[in-house]
Amino acid sequence: MPFRLGFEHPGYLWLMLALPLIWWIGYSSLGVLGRFRKWLALSLRTVVWSIVVLALAGVQIVWVSDKMTVMYLLDQSISIPQAKRQVMLDFVVRNVKRHRNQQRGDRAGIIVFGRNASIEIPPFDDDIYLQRLEARLGEDETDATNLEGALNLAQASMPEDTARRIVIVTDGNENLGQAKKLAARVANAGIGIDVVPVLLDAKSEVLVEKVDLPADIRKGQPFEARVVLNNYSEDHDGTGRPTKGTLRLTQKAGRTVTGLLEQEVTLTPGKNIFPVRLEIDQPASYVYEAEFLPSTDEDDGLKQNNKGSAYTHVRGEARVLLIEDQRRVGDFDLMIEALRDADIEVVQQYTDELFGSLAELQAFDAVILAGVARSADQDDSAVTFTDAQIDMLVRNTQQLGAGILMIGGPDAFSGWTGTELEKAMPVDFKIKNAKVEAVGALACIMHASEMADGNHWQKVIARAAIEQLGPSDFAGVLHWGMSGDQWMWGGGLMEVGPNRKAMLSAVSRMTPGDMPQFDPAMKMAVKGLANTPASVKHCIIISDGDPSDPMPGTIAAFKQNNITISTVAVASHGLTESQRLRGIAQATGGKYYAVKSGKALPKIFQREARRVSKPLVFEPEGGVIPQVTPLQHALMDGVDRVLPNTRGFVLTQTKDGPLAQVLIRSPKPVEPENNTVLAVWTYGLGRTAVLTTDAGARWATSWNDWPDYDKFFSQLVRWTMRPTGDTGKYSIATSVKDGEVQVVVNALKEDDSFLDFLDMQANVSDMKASESGEETTFGQLDMRQTAPGRYVGTFQADAAGNYFVTVIPEPGAAPLTVGVSVPYSDEFRVRETNMALIESLAKTQPAGGEAGAVAPALETEPTEDLVDTNTFRGGLALARSIKDAWPWFLLTGCCIFLADVFVRRVAINFDWVGNAMRKLRGKTSEKDAAVTARLDALRKNKEALDDSLEKRRASVRFEPTASDNSTDDVQIGTSGTGDRSATKSDAATPDAPAKDAGGSYTERLLAAKRKARKD
Instruction: Give the CATH number of the domain where residue 647 resides.
Output: 3.40.50.880
Identify whether residues 32 and 12 lie together within a single domain: yes
Give the HSE-up count for residue 508: Cα atoms under 13 Å, Cβ half-sphere. Answer: 6
131-149: pLDDT as tens digits: 887 666 666 678 888 999 9
2-44: pLDDT as tens digits: 667 878 888 888 988 888 888 888 777 777 777 777 888 888 8
Closest alpha carbon to 261 in 238, 227, 232, 210: 227
CATH assignment at residue 264: 2.60.40.10
Range of the domain at 212: 206-315
CB atoms within 10 A of CB 186: 23
Residues ≥6 apart with Cβ < 8 Å to 291: 208, 247, 248, 249, 250, 306, 307
Identify whether residues 734 and 626 lie together within a single domain: no
Tell me, yes or no, whether 943 lies in a domain: no
H and E: helices and strands count for the chain:
25, 44
Tell me, yes or no, whether 979 lies in a domain: no
Q: Which of 596, 611, 626 is the last residue of a domain?
A: 611
Residue 700: is it exposed, middle or buried by C-beta count within 10 angstroms (0-12/13-18/19+)? buried
Identify whether residues 850 and 887 lie together within a single domain: no
H/E/C letters for each residue in 482-502?
CCEEEECCCCCCEEHHHHHHH
Give the span between the Cα atoms of 720 and 635, in whole angstroms. 9
The residues that bridge with 733 in the sheet, in sequence order, are: 744
Tell me, yes or no, whether 118 lies in a domain: yes
Identify whether residues 213 and 243 lie together within a single domain: yes
Q: Are 254 and 359 in contact (CB under 8 A)?
A: yes
Closest alpha carbon to 278 in 224, 227, 349, 226: 224
Give the span between the Cα atoms of 142 and 150, in whole angstroms. 13
Identify whether residues 130 and 221 lie together within a single domain: no
Give 10-residue mean pLDDT values along the chain (1015 residues).
76 88 81 78 88 89 85 90 87 93 91 90 89 70 87 92 92 87 91 91 80 79 89 69 90 84 90 90 83 84 83 79 87 92 90 81 90 65 72 87 92 82 90 62 78 67 77 84 82 84 86 83 92 85 83 92 86 65 89 69 60 71 91 90 92 87 90 88 92 92 94 94 71 81 90 88 69 52 92 84 83 78 76 87 90 90 89 85 84 88 76 71 65 78 82 63 43 41 42 49 76 69
Residue 992: is it exposed, middle or buried by C-beta count within 10 angstroms (0-12/13-18/19+)? middle
Backbone angles phi, psi at 882, to 5 degrees: -110, 135
Identify whether residues 156 and 172 lie together within a single domain: yes
Give the span between the Cα atoms of 384 and 389, in whole angstroms. 10
Q: From residue 711, how far is each of 109, 634, 638, 640, 690 by CA, in Å?
A: 76, 12, 8, 10, 17
Give the span between the Cα atoms of 159 and 149, in whole angstroms. 18
Identify whether residues 56 and 23 lie together within a single domain: yes
Give the span between the Cα atoms of 855 and 530, in whole angstroms. 85
What is the pairing mode between strands 816-822 and 440-446? unpaired
Identify whether residues 210 and 288 lie together within a single domain: yes
pLDDT of residue 574: 55
pLDDT of residue 613: 55
Identify whether residues 596 and 739 lie together within a single domain: no
Identify whether residues 454 and 600 lie together within a single domain: yes
Q: Which of 720, 743, 778 is the last residue of a domain?
A: 720
Identify whether residues 460 and 594 lie together within a single domain: yes
Q: Are 860 and 84 in contact (CB under 8 A)?
A: yes
Residues recorded for the chain = 1015
Closest alpha carbon to 567 in 516, 608, 531: 608
Q: Domain count of the chain?
A: 6
Tell me, yes or no, whether 128 lies in a domain: yes
Q: What is the pTM of this model?
A: 0.57
Q: Which of 592, 611, 630 is the last residue of a domain?
A: 611
Q: To the nearest 10°, report the CA torsion of 838, 843, 846, 847.
A: -150
Identify whether residues 734 and 715 lie together within a single domain: no
Tell me, yes or no, whether 916 lies in a domain: no
Tell me, yes or no, whether 926 lies in a domain: no
Tell me, yes or no, whether 140 lies in a domain: yes
Residue 1010, sorted as left (phi over 0), alpha (psi -120 to 50) or beta, turns out to be: alpha
Tell me, yes or no, whether 1013 lies in a domain: no
* For helices 179-188 and 835-842, angle between their N-to-C axes, nearest 10 degrees: 10
CATH assignment at residue 821: 2.60.40.1930
pLDDT of residue 925: 60
- Under DSSP, the state recorded for 298 is G
What is the pairing mode between strands 563-570 and 592-595? parallel
pLDDT of residue 770: 38
407-453: pLDDT as tens digits: 998 888 887 877 889 999 999 887 766 555 557 788 988 876 655 55
- Nearest-Å Rg of the Cα atoms of the chain is 53
